[in-house]
Amino acid sequence: MEYDNNGQGDDSAFAFEGDWREFAKIAFPNLLLTVVTLGIYRFWATARERRYLWSRTRFVDEHLEWAGTGMELFLGFVMVMILFGVPYFGMTFIAQALIARGYEALGVALGFIALTSIFYLGGVARFRALRYRLSRTRWRGIRGGSDSNGFLFGLSYMWKTIVGTLPLGLLIPWSMTSLWNERWSKMSFGPFEFESDAEPGEVFARFLLFYLAPFVFFVGGVVMAGMGTLAGYGIGGEDGMAIGGIAAIIGLVLFFYLGLGLIAVAFYAKFYRVVVGSTRWRDLHFSFEASTRDWVKLLVVDAVLVVFTFGIGLIFLSYRHWKFFMTHLEAGGEILLDELTQSETRTAKHGEGLLDAFDMGAF
Amino acid sequence: MAKASSTPSTWARSEPMEDAFQTEAQWYDGTNALRHEGKLTWDGHGGFRLAGPTSEQAFATEDLRYAETRRGKLVYRRESIPDFRLILPDDLPAGLAAQLPRKSEYGAWVDKLGLGRAAAIFGAASAAAVALFLTAPAWLGPRIPESWERNIGHAMIGDFGGRLCETPAGTAALDKLVAKVDPGKVKVRAGVANMGMINAVALPGGQVLLFDGLVQQAESPEELAGVLGHEVGHVRERHVMTALLRQFGLSILLAGTDSRVTNSVFGLASMGYSREAEREADDYARARMAESDISPLGAAGFFDRLAKETGEDEDTPALVGWIASHPSSAERAKAYRSSARKGKTYPPVLTEEEFAALKSMCEDDPDVEEFDLF
């Protein structure tokens, strides 16, 4: 089977065929059950949502299937609480007790260890969340996974994040792309591994916007403030000038926050175009074509949806985000169905790995 | 895809019931991505047959499990081959549909009960759990053995690592005071903390701290007896354990947002009591003082001064901590004053020398450390 299409449209490799009214019939009962069970149902709710979203997503000529269950997410949560939550609680308790007894240095050191382990486990969790999602995704009966347990990735995550942030954050594009490459290169679907070789140089220019921004905003802001004040003076003399000045300052603050937010969105838009575009699987290459404008539209509509429904719109965000992701994801290349055999990653051999369910958001 | 089978079947057996028990099917065998197409037939005695040009297999009906519903399609898997997928049109002939496993929608329990009933039952159980959780500190606190509380308190704060003021004469005076307001066999451990705030706290584990600031402003040992009696009351009435449980419950609820659970030992001890508990502690203090012949007028004077200093709207910052969580000072002064028996002369609770030793305890302790950790 050969497939090569990088354009938008009906014959795109990935297509989302969901309908928000159908999704609402899943999301509202989920909300009800989650409320009456004090949140415990949310694991089953997540599984139901994903089953719907995956089943309405077509890749080439077959729909995806989500094979994960609510129970395994719940058990994963319980395991994580017992294996990591309780020791963390104990460590902070002992740290506090040591400080109260006058062993400040020891107490602080123990507290530091507790925080470091949270940092480390955050990296492991990012790896495992992706592994979990791939291993529960079926296409033509075939699933993905990883042979790595993510513990080494946790170490990489720690040192690369620290090194990336230390020189005034200048190496963050490097740490982000390098961690993306490392994470995806350890993943596989069927018998074939993913490969990723994203270059930090491609996102670096966008990243520099963060450094230029304060300068540009300051100059722009001063000009605007001056103009606002003058305009106020023109309209209403001295009083008008004061009002114009205040309005200018409010405008400046808004401009600053919105401006920084916009730069962050612009950076992430570019980042995802670059890293997804550098990711390959066998003879298949991927691309993600969402522009900054698409992202802004997504986020603004998200905010409007949530605010004007007094928060109820929150239950539709997972739908919107999945749809956004699938609409802009493209793939081209060739898949030989004969050689696409079942994944032999560990999950299959040892049953459901419970810790896989340490699921925080994979992408 | 959703059309019923009308073409001749690809296998030989042909019975009159066939159409009612067979349908078009697609399947993946779970070992590779090749799609097989053909027909699914129920064999009439507990088994299914799949047959097509590229694959053929038979398995027991109970091996089949429901997986999900797609638009116009139903998906099943096999228990013995978890990666196997069978895709059927959703307008199945009735005879065959009866043999297939039932759909599951919400999860086993909710499916069995129905959404409405499940929501009602879960809602009731959750309301009961919340009620239990909210009231647990009040009824569970007093039932926890005092020895457990002492262990918990010891684990949490220990001996403060030398931040308590200690001199032989001062400690003896404090012990004498404690003996008068605490009738328990195992006495509450009391100490003077090297801290300038005007405050006193009862801590987990039957430990009471007077802050040096409070000792310094006291005009008589009876005042200190009143405050000490009040804090001992919190310990003996098990208010501390109740507050500790409440704090613990809160920290579980907030575990997701803030995990620095044990940070506020003092916050819990000084702010965690209800007004009712404060009144109980006052009643306790007055009862013990009456038993031990201690004049309540000293304590009344202390509350008078507090009431005057804090006034209607000018707050003295050092006193705010004590005031905020307690009943109004004027009211308390009145309660203490009216508990004094008319015409009775009370002996002083401490001698001049003992009171002086208590006052100079922090100054005279050569190796006390600063209390600066919070």
Please say if the pLDDT value at position B233 is more than 60: yes
Please say if the pLDDT value at position B54 is more than 70: yes
Which residue has better confidence, A248 or B211?
B211
Pair B64, A44: CB distance under 8 Å: no
pLDDT at B267: 45
Write out chain B residues lying below 8 Å of A100, CB-based: 156-158, 160-161, 265, 373
Helix (H) or strand (E) holding A232: helix A201-277
pLDDT at B330: 79
Partner-chain contact A101 B83, CB within 8 Å:
no
The beta-carbon neighbor of A100 closest among B84, B158, B260 is B158
User: What is the average pLDDT across A270-299?
Assistant: 93
Q: Give percent of chain A above pLDDT 70.
A: 88
Residue-averaged pLDDT of chain A: 83
pLDDT in tens, A94-121: 887 787 777 888 888 888 888 888 888 8
Please say if the pLDDT value at position B7 is more than 50: no
Q: Which of B68, B156, B368 to mutate to test the interface with A (most CBs of A within 10 A)?
A: B68
User: What is the average pLDDT across B75-89?
Assistant: 92
Q: Give A101→chain B minimum CA distance, Å.
A: 4
pLDDT at B320: 45
Partner-chain contact A97 B67, CB within 8 Å:
no
pLDDT at B103: 86
Give first-to-last CA distance, chain A, whole Å: 28
Measured CA to CA, the distance from residue B299 to residue B293 in angstroms comes to: 14
Sorting pLDDT into bands at 50, 70 and 90, what band is B199?
confident
Give the SS3 label for residue B101: coil
pLDDT at B253: 62
Sorting pLDDT into bands at 50, 70 and 90, what band is B310?
low
Write out chain B residues lying below 8 Å of A63, CB-based: 70
Q: How many CB atoms lie within 10 A of CB A208?
A: 14
pLDDT at B372: 56
Partner-chain contact A141 B260, CB within 8 Å:
no
Write out chain B residues lying below 8 Å of A67, CB-based: 67
Return the residue matching tokens 């994963």. A76
Range name among A320-324, B63-67, B305-309 with the lowest pLDDT average: B305-309
Is residue B68 less than 8 Å (CB to CB) from chain A?
A: yes
Range name among A24-28, A201-205, B218-222, B327-331 with the lowest pLDDT average: B327-331
Mode of pairing for the β-strands spanning B189-193 and B207-211:
parallel
pLDDT at B369: 73
Give the residues across from B65 on adjacent strands.
B77
Encoded tokens for A335: 């898949």
Range name among A126-130, A138-142, A158-162 with the lowest pLDDT average: A126-130
Please say if the pLDDT value at position B11 is more than 50: no
Please say if the pLDDT value at position B312 is more than 60: no
Range of A171-180, B99-108, B217-226 with top mean pLDDT:
A171-180
pLDDT in tens, A40-92: 898 899 999 999 999 999 998 899 999 988 888 888 888 777 877 788 888 87
Please say if the pLDDT value at position B261 is more than 70: no
Please say if the pLDDT value at position A7 is more than 70: no
Q: Give A228→chain B minimum CA distance, Å.
A: 42
Instruction: Transcribe B295-306 into DSSP letters.
Output: -THHHHHHHHHH
The beta-carbon neighbor of A55 closest among B70, B158, B162 is B70
pLDDT in tens, B314-333: 444 444 444 455 667 778 88
pLDDT at B8: 43
| Residues within 8 A of A (CB atoms), B 7-26 only | none
Pair B89, B3: CB distance under 8 Å: yes
CA A337 → CA A3, A134, A187, A268, distances in Å?
12, 18, 19, 34
Please say if the pLDDT value at position A24 is more than 90: yes
Which one-letter DSSP state was computed for residue B160?
Answer: G
Chains A and B form CB pairs within 8 A to the count of: 123
pLDDT at B205: 78
Return the residue matching tokens 């000293």. B298
pLDDT at A235: 66
Write out chain B residues lying below 8 Å of A62, CB-based: 35
Please say if the pLDDT value at position A361 is more than 50: no
| DSSP E strand boundaries for A38-168 | 57-59, 62-66, 137-139, 142-146
CATH label, B16-103, candidates 1.40.20.10, 2.30.29.30, 1.10.3720.10, 3.40.50.300: 2.30.29.30
Residue-averaged pLDDT of chain B: 79
pLDDT at A11: 64
User: What is the average pLDDT across A354-362?
Assistant: 47
User: What is the average pLDDT across B34-59?
Assistant: 90
Range of A14-18, A75-79, A167-171, B358-362 with top mean pLDDT:
A14-18
Measured CA to CA, the distance from residue B342 to residue B92 in angstroms comes to: 96
Mode of pairing for the β-strands spanning A279-281 and A283-288:
antiparallel
Please say if the pLDDT value at position B147 is more than 90: no
CA B157 → CA A330, B48, B160, B205, B285, distances in Å?
59, 69, 6, 9, 25
Please say if the pLDDT value at position B336 is more than 60: yes
Residues found in chain B = 374
List chain A domain ranges.
Answer: 2-6+20-193+276-357, 199-275
pTM, two decimals, is 0.73
Residue A23 one-letter amino acid: F
pLDDT at A346: 65
